[in-house]
Amino acid sequence: DTGVSQDPRHKITKRGQNVTFRCDPISEHNRLYWYRQTLGQGPEFLTYFQNEAQLEKSRLLSDRFSAERPKGSFSTLEIQRTEQGDSAMYLCASSLARTRRNEQFFGPGTRLTVL
Amino acid sequence: DQQVKQNSPSLSVQEGRISILNCDYTNSMFDYFLWYKKYPAEGPTFLISISSIKDKNEDGRFTVFLNKSAKHLSLHIVPSQPGDSAVYFCAASANGGTSYGKLTFGQGTILTVHP
């Protein structure tokens, strides 16, 4: 059983550069979520997909952020013109939307450092 | 506004004793609650959950209690083991509509179990 995987695990970039992260969910899961976690805080919801449709976006997701899930499989999260405030752990999670339970399974995260 | 709060940043317990982690929420629309455990450099791992139609759910050493009138839930770990040392996050979701799926997390409680 391969869980949720994320790539890269770490990314260091200079302010103003663009970065892209990838998430591969558990294969049969049709829901995919992105969260952001900063030091001392719990994960904060960014956006989620059911299959290829992006159903909700947080107000935290500025215009510099864009997420896609082509063909309802893997997902990418792109941050354009990075700022130091974007430094955080970016977590991806997936779940199966079959019941009212909402147990999401998380990947190891991508730690972004913006210099 | 912090809709899910874990007011204790840390908890220290002796091995074999009970660990009680607390969580309060403010949003009356939340109807499903989850606890996650997180080790350093890993994503959160699902531990146990409870629906708002129940007041208790048990899984081995872990029991979650829900007091809807007080908007309070707690996680009991009995007996505590050193391997339980981790950050514990409380999370909540409001099923229905376009918010189905989004988890709102508390800030986390660092549990340390001493041998």
What secondary structure, in 3-state letters, does chain B show? CCCEECCCCEEEEECCCCEEEEEEECCCCCCEEEEEEECCCCCCEEEEEEECCCCEEEECCEEEEEECCCCEEEEEECCCCHHHCEEEEEEEECCCHHHCCCCEECCCEEEEEEC
User: How far apart (Å, rounded) are the C-alpha atoms in residues A52 and A107?
Assistant: 19
Instruction: Please say whether the beta carbons of B7 and B109 come within 8 A.
Output: no
Q: What is the pLDDT of residue B58?
A: 97
Residue to mutate among B103, B104, B105, B107, with most A CBs inside 10 A, is B103
What is residue B49's predicted lDDT score, i.e. its pLDDT?
93
**Residue A47 and residue A57: Cα distance in Å, rounded?**
4
| DSSP code, position A84 | G
Q: Which residues of B touch A105 (CB under 8 A)?
A: 46
Mutant choice from A104, A110, A111 vs B, greatest count of B C-beta within 10 A = A104
Average pLDDT, chain B: 93
Q: Which residues contact B96 (CB under 8 A, 6 or more apart)?
A: none
Map residue A1 onto helix, strand or coil: coil
Diameter over CA atoms, chain B: 47
What's the gap in Å between the CA of A16 and the closest CA on chain B?
Answer: 26
Task: Indicate whether A77 pLDDT > 90.
Answer: yes
pLDDT at position A2 over 80: no
pLDDT at residue A13 greater than cutoff 90 = yes
User: Tokens 């079959």 correspond to what residue?
Assistant: A98
pLDDT at B1: 72
Q: What pLDDT score does A93 carry? A: 96
| Contact between B4 and A91 using a beta-carbon 8 Å cutoff | no
Q: Kindly give the residue spans of alpha helices, DSSP state H, lying in chain A.
A: none
Torsion of CA A102, A108, A109, A114, to 10 degrees: 160
Chain B residue numbers touching A97 (CB-CB < 8 A): 100-101
- A42 vs B107: CB contact, 8 Å cut-off? yes
Q: Residue B104: pLDDT above 90?
A: yes
Smallest Cβ distance to B89: which of A42, A45, A56?
A: A42
B contacts of A104 (beta carbons < 8 Å): 46, 101, 103
Report the relative pairing of strands A110-114 and A10-13 from DSSP bridges.
Answer: parallel
Per CB-CB distance under 8 Å, the chain B contacts of A101 are 32, 49, 51
Cβ atoms of B21 and B74 within 8 Å: the answer is: yes
Whether residue B38 has pLDDT greater than 90: yes
Interchain CB contacts (distance < 8 Å): A and B:
72
- Among B44, B89, B95, the residue with its CB nearest the CB of A102 is B95
How many whole angstroms from its chain centre is CA B94? 16
